Each structure stands twice: as structure tokens, then as C-alpha cells.
């Protein structure tokens, strides 16, 4: 393990621009279940009933029951050493961009400033009828909450079958094309387009460091693949470069 951390540090110490891509595994040690792991949410819940625009149109109350449960859970959770380490990376000897699939806001809570939340945030609600958007941390919200225009408000997150916000994707692509190292931590690398980010950066010449408890489709392609908990590995990498 130590030699892999050193190899990762070597790559980072040479880099002028770095992008980190994170997923649910980075928040797992904060007590937030992942989606596809042993305790994965999709083992218990049906994504098509809870995380699609069709599900919301059919039963907004059910969708909000689930998002209220998750808001309650996130509210009780705090950043772990992986979040803290990634926040420290902003002080690294390189230009650093953090791209996360997580909607829990724990990266920002840990102090990260330059975070691109590609799947949105559970702490924002929006109206798809009049375009109203609001930052809202009330737990629980009515099921569903209604907009002043009369339409039900929804969580401002990206559901299955929906496109990512164009502005954010533009910033992500720009950072990936400039990156000399891409770190991929705590994601199964199976949900697109986020699962393509590392490959895009590698095709533009970046080296790839993967940190995950298990192998993923990305593991064979990574320059350095470190198998372990992000809360253990990320602080070691940061200690080796800062
Ligand atoms: N440290 C590092 N990796 C971990 C840890 C940990 N402590 N715990 C779990 N992992 C890894 C798992 O091995 C798995 O590869 O994190 C990954 C979590 O994968 P998923 O549950 O699929 O989560 P994610 O990749 O973020 O899902 C992508 O899918 O359901 C949608 O929109 C949702 O953003 C989500 C997207």
C-alpha cells in the first residue's frame, strides 16, 4: 500500500492541474449508505419508483418521503477524513477541481470551495413549471412542498434519464481536458456520464489514480489503483504531497 501512495504522490507532485471525481464511497464512512454496495440503497429501494421524473409525476409524496429520510440522514452526518483531505488538496501545488456525484453537501461542509456537484444538491429544491430554485435545509419538508405557482417542488438533483446541467458539464470538461492527474475515489464508475470523466482526462494525457474498496471497470486502466477506504487512503496521499 505504502508504495502505491508514494507512486500517487509522485504523480501529483509533478502535476500542474488535478481533478478529483468522487462518489458515494467517499461519504460511506460518514454513515451514508452507497447505492450499489452491500448496504446499497438500490438493493432495498427501486430507483424507478424514487429517482426518475416519471416516479415524481406519478407519486410526488412517495418521492419526498424518501428524500426527507435522506435529508434527515445527511443532516446527522458530518465530513470524514476523506472529505477533509480532498478539501486540503485545494492548497496543493496544483490547480485543483473537485467533481462530485454526491448530493449530500459534505465536501463543502469539509471546506472544499471549488466543488462541481454534477448530480445536484439535496439542499436545493426547484420548480420544473416556473423555474423557481431555492436553497432549503428544512427537515422534513411537506410531502410534497408546493411552489407559489401551484406546482409541486422537487429536489434539485439529477434523476435517472435526465441530463446533467450544461453549465456544470462545460466546467467539468474544461477541467478534465487540462488535468495532468485525475483521482477517482469511492465510485463504482458505472453511471454515465460521470463514469466517462476519468477516461476523458486520460485520453487527454492525464494519469489516473483510483481509490476504492473494490475493483471497478476503471481499475485495469488506472495508473495507480489503491484498494482501501477513502478515509484511510486520501489523508495518506495528502500527507505525502503537502
Ligand atoms: N472508501 C472507498 N470506496 C468505497 C468505500 C470507502 N469507504 N465504501 C464503498 N466504496 C466504493 C464501492 O466499492 C463502490 O465502488 O464506492 C463505490 C460506490 O458505488 P455506488 O454505490 O455505485 O455509488 P456511485 O458510484 O457514487 O453512484 C453513482 O449512481 O445511483 C446513482 O446518482 C446516483 O450519484 C449516484 C450514481
Same domain, yes or no, for 95 and 11? yes
Same domain, yes or no, for 61 and 176? no
Query: Model confidence over 3-13: pLDDT tens digits?
Result: 999 999 999 99
- Distance separating alpha carbons of residues 105 and 111, to the nearest angstrom: 10
The residue with cell 478515509 is 231
Question: What is the Å distance from ligand 1's center to 25 Cα?
Answer: 4
- Distance separating alpha carbons of residues 176 and 189, to the nearest angstrom: 16
How many domains is the chain built from?
2
The residue with cell 509522485 is 10
Query: What residues have CB less than 8 Å from 175, skipping those under 6 apart?
Result: 17, 19, 97, 99, 116
Catalytic residue chosen out of the listed positions 3, 83, 107, 119: 119
Q: Are 182 and 206 in contact (CB under 8 A)?
A: yes
Question: What is the Å distance from ligand 1's center to 24 Cα?
Answer: 4
Same domain, yes or no, for 229 and 151? no
Give 217's DSSP letter: T
Q: Is 99 in the pocket of ligand 1 (CB under 6 A)?
A: no
Give percent of the chain with pLDDT exceeding 90: 94
Same domain, yes or no, for 193 and 208? yes
Query: Model confidence over 214-240: pLDDT tens digits?
Result: 999 999 999 999 999 999 999 999 999
Confirm whether 83 is a catalytic residue: no
- Residue among 30, 58, 31 at smallest CA distance from 46: 58
Task: Count Cβ atoms below 10 Å from residue 47 Cβ, excluding itself.
Answer: 13
Q: Is 229 in the pocket of ligand 1 (CB under 6 A)?
A: yes
Q: 144: domain range?
A: 33-76+126-157
Query: Whole-prediction pTM value?
Result: 0.97
Amino acid at each position: 500500500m505504502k508504495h502505491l501512495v508514494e507512486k500517487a504522490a509522485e504523480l501529483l507532485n509533478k502535476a500542474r492541474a488535478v481533478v478529483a471525481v468522487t462518489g458515494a464511497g467517499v461519504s460511506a464512512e460518514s454513515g451514508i449508505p452507497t447505492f450499489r454496495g452491500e448496504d446499497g440503497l438500490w438493493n432495498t429501494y427501486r430507483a424507478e419508483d424514487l429517482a426518475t421524473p416519471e416516479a415524481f409525476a406519478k407519486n410526488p409524496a412517495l418521492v419526498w418521503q424518501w428524500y426527507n429520510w435522506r435529508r434527515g440522514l445527511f443532516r446527522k452526518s458530518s465530513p470524514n477524513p476523506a472529505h477533509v483531505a480532498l478539501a486540503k488538496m485545494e492548497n496543493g501545488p496544483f490547480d485543483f477541481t473537485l467533481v462530485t456525484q454526491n448530493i449530500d453537501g459534505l465536501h463543502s461542509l469539509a471546506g472544499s470551495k471549488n466543488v462541481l456537484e454534477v448530480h445536484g444538491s439535496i439542499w436545493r429544491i426547484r420548480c420544473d413549471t416556473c423555474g423557481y430554485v431555492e436553497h432549503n435545509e428544512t427537515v422534513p419538508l411537506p410531502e410534497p412542498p408546493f411552489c407559489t405557482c401551484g406546482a409541486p417542488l422537487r429536489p434539485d438533483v439529477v434523476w435517472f434519464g435526465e441530463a446533467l446541467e450544461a453549465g456544470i458539464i462545460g466546467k467539468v470538461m474544461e477541467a478534465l481536458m487540462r488535468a495532468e492527474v485525475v483521482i477517482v475515489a469511492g465510485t463504482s464508475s458505472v453511471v454515465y456520464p460521470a463514469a466517462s470523466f476519468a477516461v476523458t482526462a486520460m485520453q487527454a494525457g492525464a494519469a489516473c489514480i483510483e481509490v476504492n474498496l473494490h475493483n471497478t471497470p476503471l481499475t485495469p486502466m488506472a495508473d495507480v489503483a489503491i484498494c482501501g477506504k477513502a478515509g484511510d487512503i486520501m489523508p495518506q496521499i495528502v500527507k505525502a504531497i503537502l
